[in-house]
Structure 1
């Protein structure tokens, strides 16, 4: 059966453009204040909102640094100290400290890196330490959380974004916030050193490291000078374009634009370096200039126009020697009072073997040098236990869930097109139509009419692979064979409306886009499912079946939709957001900020007011639950329902042995 509804293959482009239009509207809402008092008011509130969204409010515990040196490399005019320090209780950061010869006091610079799996030891990252130390700057270059020596497996370097970095979202944290905190602790370390002038601190990095540079300079007033490289655009340009989860602030575009974050650096000196030939649409010079010009208005308003500058350099994406020349001139002027702030010559490049820069060359790191996955796996159960122990009534739990999903449950489907009928033979026919759900989302629907005498009502089927995937499932085939009425629908970014082809990871850009707009993909799918169910309700009871990641949305819809469904079947549903290893088997659509501070999948199921079947739920690593784990999950759901005074009608079926 042909499942296509729309005659033209432009549904994906339409959804993508609608998201970009929404981003443009948010951009226009964020206007530059006209007075210093208006800016002061905006600044105070914005600073707090960023910390909250990043997972840094209240502030994490700040234990003693407990700096441990793991070796020293002596070079001409400076040395490299391999060290680690305590960022949070039980969590250490690895870094290399480049120290000029002499007693100082020298300015201190924090070096942040982008998406180089080797982290601080990569030659292109270490080169900045060599350049700065030879010019009289104490420079600390650290491994970003999940990179370098802080990866999942010691000695195996990996990309710390995608599902790995997104694993922090379930905890109510973000990779963006974790990096800010590690870097703030790096500033603590620099200020503690006797050879560093604690009043003259700078920060620089490229790409993802430039993003870290911007956020640190915005949030920590100790930064006197900052140079973000190939990383500044607009938050509007982040929407529906490739970026890392480390650069995602949940709800960010609904709160502010990038110009305001840049302006938070004032009165610190800020030099923005972008590349004319950057291939990333988010970092085009034209986008950077939009943010620069608005931030410039704030710097002028505050009387610090000379402390903000930008330069577009005819290079590709990277922290090339030419860019290092600009950075060095800026730091010499603003941190040492030397030169004019213009580019200056840099010494010849030095490149050491990567292994020489490792804190743990034998890869025998202590457990405190933990990966993102290890940290999230330890923290998740604690948060879940605390959340489930709360004595909150079911209505309050439901309201909190809807808020965490970013789901709008107040508006029914806004529009339903006329239905185009076509025969299927044997006295049956199908109807193709478009439903406009909340936020203007267009949902292509395929309805196979039931035969006389068949079971009443409609089976609504949603699938991670869209209508075509649902059509191939045994439950749908059996329903069609029995003459039941079946409705197949593509949820947002599925089937005919899939605009995110998964260039980085499945649903990567769609999930990031939803986060920036204050939503989640699970929440969007809940809106879609309830809109379609509402449109079908006049034709009798609706049963819901879902496969893959949309199965979580089906459970959430059951929890939030009252009696919108006769029953719900969730096939291959995620069993828990508590990590017991990697979550890379799941697509990026699955993540919900702070879900473990609310509860877990089990609480969604317990809140359902209709019978629910969990068919072969899976772990975050994608492993089907065995009989014992399935029984434990069902028992947990029943206990939660009883605690809220609800009658649980949830069954959990394990994989067959």
Structure 2
């Protein structure tokens, strides 16, 4: 595959092809997530009748909207603008800009055949992870070929890619901690892309050259996922051709993928085959490559295709097709030719769907296609983080502050319930299989326990002569042993605390050695967790609860004073654990993320902290901290979402809403915000 493709970030990170014993030895968390997924889909059965499928179809659409966040009730005006164009042999190209949401602009190219005879069938081409996006020669080639064969073509830049990146140059990747800024507001990139592609269909239907009833969609890799979801959800699309993208959701748990492909909690309500089934009555062709990565492999694609084919047979015969091409991950000439034939059959209503040869194709220099060449894009152009920050501020601004103790207590009860829900809920408690080993000196213990069945964790704790004050120290970067021996642990002991350092799942000795993608140190484990509807933050909070259970089981009771203290990213873990567990009597966050709201991509933090919809349902980190009141809370230093250390004034500003709650409860002195 061409070096232009950004798939090295995620498509080829294969961890699912090891032996079971190797996975168990080195990737216990991955095996745990896979088992969770198997249990979630254990009773999956295909729809047996058309009526049953109709009910399931409605349920699927409702679940998808919940996972993606609501689409706008009223679409804004497209306000399309043509920013230039040029003529080529057999077609012309227009540079188009249109509005998908208020103030959010999609860059696009229209390829328009010369001398059309009546209204034309149209194809929406979505690009996937080629670094040039709609400008990339791989993407251009299928657009030019389609136009020369008589299709009106619209090629668009996905949010965060191509001309819509954080920066102005082409080649930017919109995944990992850029796309992560969308999660707290409950609008994951996968859903935003579906809605924006619906707006692209709106634009196509507005063109006088286009037959509004003959529109198809195609793309490869991440663009193939866009194709599948757009085709599943927008029933105006009459031909749907996802390429090098179809597999199974469970296969994603053996690989890394882009954040634009993640549907939070999808495995709680479906598998990929039923999503394909939503388009099974509208010209669906799945194209697979024999040399593709495991999650897009022919074998995995066949599983989902079989499910979709069974759905199509509830209504008619022969409506869908699985094309298999000897190739690596691509959208190459044989794939283009297969797509031309299938689109011709379903949109022109000509032929039998067999491949049609490529016309002569001469791609442009990418810069030629840009709506905003060079550095000409407006400085206030709305990027993914800017959109997420604006939405976050809007949601936070709508929250009403409690006016008295009674209203706060009522609100706190509701907010705690909502927090548990967005964290994925609590698993059932099970025997801990506690194993304890005391040091020869009798001053410390190593503890092993099952946080959940088959998920074993470890901790190291002091054995003081006079137990009474226990500090649970969590550090996602150092691990338990290093944290237990750290300078912070020594400071705690000097203050009279017995220290217990916990090794959280998927961190320290339990970390996946290939977890890091780009700026996200826990990229893969965090994504796998999102697929099963259990964000890592919720799992880490459960681990903190379970170490308290383990100590109580070992000692017969807990100390009267328990401090949860988290350093770095773990500060959010400590705050959230204290918000939901009254056994924790006080909490400290040290140099941690102070707010989910950022106009720039996250830096210096973890993807696992990002909880879908937390700002929408509960609020920002300051609002989580408010749920701890009236117990003491100390914020010792903090960083912005962009990873910049905040001075005391900025840090205090971030926790203004927390301070108001403490003042309302007449315990203002128990909230301390300190510079480090």
Shorter-chain TM-score category? over 0.9
| CA distance 1:161–1:634, change in 2 (3 Å) | closer
The structure 2 residue matched to 1:559, chosen from 573, 579, 582, is 579
Contact kept? 1:456, 1:540, Cα under 8 Å: yes
Q: Shift of the alpha carbon at 1:261?
A: 0.4
Distance 1:326 1:645 in 2: 71
8 Å CA contact 1:253–1:517 kept in 2: the answer is yes
Q: Where does residue 524 of structure 1 map in the other structure?
A: 539
Q: Is the 8 A contact 1:219 1:264 kept in 2?
A: yes
The whole-number CA distance in structure 2 between the counterparts of 1:358 and 1:635 is 44
Distance 1:413 1:576, change over 3 A: farther
**1:407 correspondence with 2:438:** no
Name which of structure 1's ranges 101-110 and 160-169 shifts more when overlaid on structure 2.
Answer: 101-110
**Cα deviations by residue, 1:492-536 (Å, 9 ceiling, x for unpaired):** 101121126334231111111111111111111111101112222
> Alignment partner of 1:232: what SS?
coil
In the other structure, the counterpart of 1:544 is 564
2: CA distance, partners of 1:9 / 1:122: 38
Q: Note closer, same or farther for the CA distance 1:38–1:431 as it changes in structure 2 (3 Å cut).
A: same
Shift of 1:440: 4.7
- For 1:586 and 1:612, how far apart are their aligned partners in 2? 21
Q: Aligned runs of 1:389-400 on 2, under 5 Å?
A: 389=401, 393-400=411-418
1:206 aligns with 2:220: yes
Q: Does 1:637 align with 2:658?
A: yes
Shift of 1:367: 5.8
Instruction: Provide the residue aligned with 1:508 in structure 2.
Output: 523
Partners of 1:401 and 1:648 in 2: CA distance: 26
Query: Given the superposition, is the C-alpha separation of residues 133 and 340 from structure 1 closer, same or farther in structure 2, using an over 3 Å criterion?
Result: same
For 1:487 and 1:97, how far apart are their aligned partners in 2? 62
Q: Deviations over 1:142-194 (max 9, x none)?
A: 00000011111222531001111111111110101111111111111111111
Q: Does the C-alpha gap of structure 1 residues 535 and 572 become closer, same or farther in structure 2, counting only changes over 3 Å?
A: same
Q: SS state of the match for residue 395, structure 1?
A: helix
Q: 1:420: Cα distance to partner?
A: 2.2
2:300 is matched with 287
CA distance in 2, matches of 1:365, 1:234: 38
Q: Deviations over 1:117-143 (max 9, x none)?
A: 321111111111101000000010000
Partner SS for 2:435 = coil
Give the secondary-structure state (helix, strand or coil) at the position aligned to 2:489. Answer: helix
**Structure 2 residue ranges without an equivalent (≥5):** 1-21
Partner residue, 2:312: 299
Q: 5+ residue gaps in structure 1?
A: 1-7
1:110 paired to 2:130: no
- 1:525–1:550 contact (8 Å) kept in structure 2: no
Counterpart in the other structure of 1:227 = 241
Post-superposition offset of 1:428: 3.7
Aligned residues: 638
Kindly report the root-mean-square deviation, in angstroms, between the aligned alpha carbons of the 2 structures. 2.2
Would you say the 8 A contact 1:92–1:368 is kept in 2?
no
CA contact (8 A) 1:458 1:536 kept: no
SS at match of 1:578: coil
Q: Contact 2:168–2:374 at 8 Å: present in 1 too?
A: no
Corresponding residue of 1:457 = 469
Matches within 5 A, 1:195-594: 195-278=209-292, 280-303=293-316, 305-366=317-378, 369-389=381-401, 393-408=411-426, 411-412=428-429, 414-423=431-440, 427-438=441-452, 440-450=454-464, 452=465, 456-465=468-477, 466-479=479-492, 485-499=498-512, 501-504=514-517, 505-537=520-552, 538-541=557-560, 542-562=562-582, 564-594=583-613
Give SS of 1:433's match.
Answer: strand
CA distance in 1, matches of 2:307, 2:42: 12
With over 3 angstroms needed to count, the CA separation of the structure-2 counterparts of 1:389 and 1:99, relative to structure 1, is: farther
Looking at structure 2, the residues matched to 323 and 472 of structure 1 have their Cα atoms a distance apart, in angstroms, of 57
Moved more, 92-101 or 240-249: 240-249
Aligned residue in 2 for 1:72: 85
Alpha-carbon distance in structure 1 between the residues aligned to 2:482 and 2:172: 32
Instruction: Give yes or no for contact 1:333–1:341 (8 Å, CA) kept in 2.
Output: yes
The separation in 1 between residues aligned to 2:665 and 2:610, in whole angstroms, is 25
8 Å contact 1:607–1:641 — kept in the other structure?
no
> What SS does the corresponding residue of 1:436 show, helix, strand or coil?
strand
Secondary structure class of the residue paired with 1:586: coil
Relative to the length of structure 1, the TM-score reads 0.93
The answer to whether the Cα contact below 8 Å between 1:143 and 1:150 also exists between their aligned partners in 2 is yes
Q: Are the structure 2 counterparts of residues 535 and 582 from structure 1 closer, same or farther at C-alpha, using a change threshold of 3 Å? A: same
Task: For 2:489 and 2:350, locate their aligned partners in 1 and report how far apart those are by CA, in whole Å.
Answer: 73
Question: Which residue does the alignment assign to 1:625?
Answer: 646
Q: 1: distance between equivalents of 2:486 and 2:430? A: 27
Deviates more, 1:428-437 or 1:347-356: 428-437
What is the SS of the residue equivalent to 1:351? coil
Residue pair 2:290, 2:324 contacting (<8 A) in 1 also: yes
What is the alpha-carbon distance in structure 2 between the residues aligned to residue 61 and residue 587 of structure 1? 35
Q: 3-state DSSP class of the match of 1:335?
A: helix
In 2 relative to 1, CA 165–566 (structure 1 residues): closer, same or farther, beyond 3 Å? same
- Cα 1:272–1:634, aligned 2, differ >3 Å: closer, same or farther? closer
User: Aligned-pair distance for 1:415?
Assistant: 0.9
* Deviation per residue, 1:297-324 (Å, 9 max, x gap): 1100111x31111122111011111111
CA contact (8 A) 1:500 1:507 kept: no
Instruction: Return the offset for 1:48.
Output: 1.6
Deviation of the 1:429 alpha carbon: 3.7
Shift in Å, 1:469: 4.1
Q: Deviations over 1:250-301 (max 9, x none)?
A: 11010111111000013101110111111x2211111110111111111001
CA distance in 1, matches of 2:323, 2:428: 47
Identify the range of structure 1 (68-77 vs 367-376) with the bigger mean alpha-carbon deviation: 367-376
Give the TM-score normalised by the residue count of structure 2: 0.90
Equivalent pair of 1:251/1:519 in contact (CA under 8 Å): yes
Q: CA deviation at 1:238?
A: 1.3
In 2, are the aligned partners of 1:615 and 1:652 still within 8 Å (CA)?
A: yes
Instruction: Tell whether the 8 Å contact from 1:151 to 1:371 is kept in structure 2 after alignment.
Output: yes
Q: After superposition, what is the alpha-carbon deviation per residue over 1:596-634, rounded to whole angstroms, capped at 9, x for unaligned?
A: 212111111111142121111111111122021133244
